[in-house]
Chains A and B, each alone.
Chain A
């Protein structure tokens, strides 16, 4: 494991005299992205604010590049660490260039006049976040998403070895979220910066993080690689999801299934049933889905949305038990839909189900 660039030793954080989370050990190496996830109010921001010394530590210490931060001057820290927090920045008559150039503070002279190198660094940072064309715009007149990019440019031109970002993706639309994460990847990759950030979007956290830290109210629940953390069961538990579910493979959330005795039976598979599943779920109609192989993409969604799923073992033709179960279930349903347009050697049983439904007169056009 790489030598950590920043680590916390028994760090305790909180407000006033009240300790919120105790004995925190977070470590981040250069080139590594560590993401804090957890429910609202779990203390992600508190931890980040404590690391950047916006909040006083309640105990323990933070070590940055080999020395304890408690003994470092503001200027020394500023040359190694830059931040992007959720604090709103209001400006008057300042161009985006001016705002980004604020990141050069630790490097400029007594009156803060920018030199050639400073200007180049600012422009380079602006181009990295795709905001060169905004340079001469008034910072107070651009959109929230653009503002976030300018503030990121400010953090980048500070030439940090570690970046601390509190929910950097809020206020961004999906395109800018992706762009921002690409920039962070580049910071960690090419520039070998250490990154520690908090994210609300689990699907993004799952994709970008090297290490995920799960913050949960009064303790750090788990620390691990995304593959260990992002499992259906654990995410449900971490966020206390009672209604609906989390699908780790897709990194998406599903609403709770409409409960009750299935009124509709859907013969699906190969992704053809998903749209109908969602439509019925929205209308609150409990339905059964079958017969689905457990490796079918429809199966993953149906498991979350259907009142009942009739499943078959993967890579094998549908066995007799599953077929009989589906038949029995289908006969109790008022409507049957078949979303399949063709059948193969593995799901011949589904063709028979469809034909039977047609004879019963319960088959409907999807």
Chain B
């Protein structure tokens, strides 16, 4: 029957993503300033010896890979939720200015606190980023009531992003010199310098958000058909909307807090996953988006740190080069499929 073929396709696609992710992780482990052969890698993984290579692997590469996996998945998932929420295929945390809002508040907090010699914990960073994300989200929500067109909403989001980035640059210019290097690196987006402590925090937050999303996949699926229909089959649309706003903000805030703003993953990956899976059902797409986002970001990070080694590219430059064409493709396809106007009630 048709359906069984479909289920086979889904599990094959998910298995493919998992294998891809594992392969990329191994590749990432081997490649870099110090290159490892498979045998060396195996030895270092099984019995870390405390030598330089072991430290590179355990203190630098593995944390970086784990962070890229967690944050890449989170980013792509938040993009999927935003696209569902706004019924807008080109919505994402970066283009709607949510990442930039998070960046702004985090920068402000860092400058204020670091200037006084107070260290900021991972939780503090996430909290600040969440506040910033909610701020941008609030503006976007206000605008979305007035702006009916999908592309206009995205333009507004991009503008909010610019405003937030401009203010960030402005305050960074007036910050103490000692903080700037750190802040500058971070605000460009990078996975370097991840600590195991930070990873524990991000793993906790992101997995909690992921589980919540997965549990909400049934109402999210109903919501994809439109708010009125969702309500008519018994979805509490008000509560679902709030849940979606909070979840997307938490996810993109966590990413921004640890790795800075990262562009285009949130839009590109969910679309690639929809094409791969041949469906937009949240029950299947939520795990697929997470795996796909993790693999995509892992690949981008590999390019970012090895292409012009020892100089490292900002992760956003790589994700933009790979992700933006996908977005253009999506927009062209949207126009071609002949979008219909809203029917009035």
Q: Which residues of A contact B (CB under 8 A)?
A: 45, 49, 52-54, 73-79, 81-83, 85-94, 98-99, 102-103, 105-106, 108, 110-113, 136, 140-141, 144, 154, 158, 166, 170
Contact = CB atoms under 8 A, between A and B. Distances in A.
**Most B Cβ at <10 Å: residue of A45, A105, A166:** A105
Contacts of A87: 226-229, 343, 345
Given A83-B228, A111-B283, A112-B283, A90 B87 contact: yes
Contact of A99 (B89, B225, B233): B225
21 contacts: A52-B232, A54-B231, A74-B234, A74-B236, A76-B234, A78-B233, A78-B234, A85-B229, A85-B232, A86-B345, A87-B229, A89-B225, A92-B274, A93-B274, A93-B279, A93-B280, A94-B279, A102-B229, A103-B233, A106-B233, A112-B283
Contacts of A112: 217-218, 221-222, 283
Given A93-B274, A112-B283, A136-B2, A88 B342 contact: yes
A105 B283 contact: no
B340 to A, nearest CB: 7
A49 B345 contact: yes
Contact of A105 (B89, B215, B222, B344): B222
A88 B218 contact: no
B153 to A, nearest CB: 15
Contacts of A154: 229
Given A53-B231, A74-B231, A45 B345 contact: yes
A54 B228 contact: yes
Contacts of B217: 111-112
A91 B224 contact: yes
A82 B232 CA distance: 6
Given A112-B221, A154-B229, 17 more contacts: A54-B228, A74-B235, A74-B236, A78-B234, A83-B232, A87-B345, A88-B226, A89-B225, A93-B278, A93-B279, A94-B279, A98-B279, A103-B233, A105-B218, A105-B234, A106-B234, A113-B283
A363 to B, nearest CB: 53
Contact of A91 (B215, B218, B280, B344): B280
Given A52-B232, A89-B229, A108 B218 contact: yes
Contact of B280 (A78, A89, A94, A102): A94
B121 interface: no
A103 B231 CA distance: 11
Interface string B231-243: 1111110000000
Given A87-B226, A91-B280, A102 B233 contact: yes
A53 B237 CA distance: 12
B337 interface: yes
B281 A98 contact: yes
**Most B Cβ at <10 Å: residue of A76, A106, A108, A170:** A106
Interface string B87-118: 10100000000000000000000000000000
A40 to B, nearest CB: 10
A111 B287 CA distance: 14
Interface in B309-345: 337, 340, 342-345
Contacts of A93: 274, 278-280
A77 B234 contact: yes
Nearest to B342: A88
Given A102-B222, A106-B233, A112-B221, A86 B344 contact: yes
A110 B226 contact: no
Contacts of A144: 340
B326 to A, nearest CB: 15
A123 B2 CA distance: 14
A81 B221 CA distance: 20
A324 B265 CA distance: 89
A49 B281 CA distance: 28
A144 B340 CA distance: 10
A88 B343 contact: yes
A105 B240 CA distance: 15
**Most A Cβ at <10 Å: residue of B225, B228, B236, B280:** B225
Contacts of A78: 232-234
Nearest to B344: A86
B337 A140 contact: yes
A166 B345 contact: yes
**Closest 6 interchain pairs by CB?**
A78-B234, A112-B218, A105-B233, A75-B234, A74-B234, A92-B280
A89 B22 CA distance: 39
A111 B222 CA distance: 11
A98 B215 CA distance: 19
Nearest to A88: B343
B231 A110 contact: no
Contacts of B280: 91-94
B225 A102 contact: yes
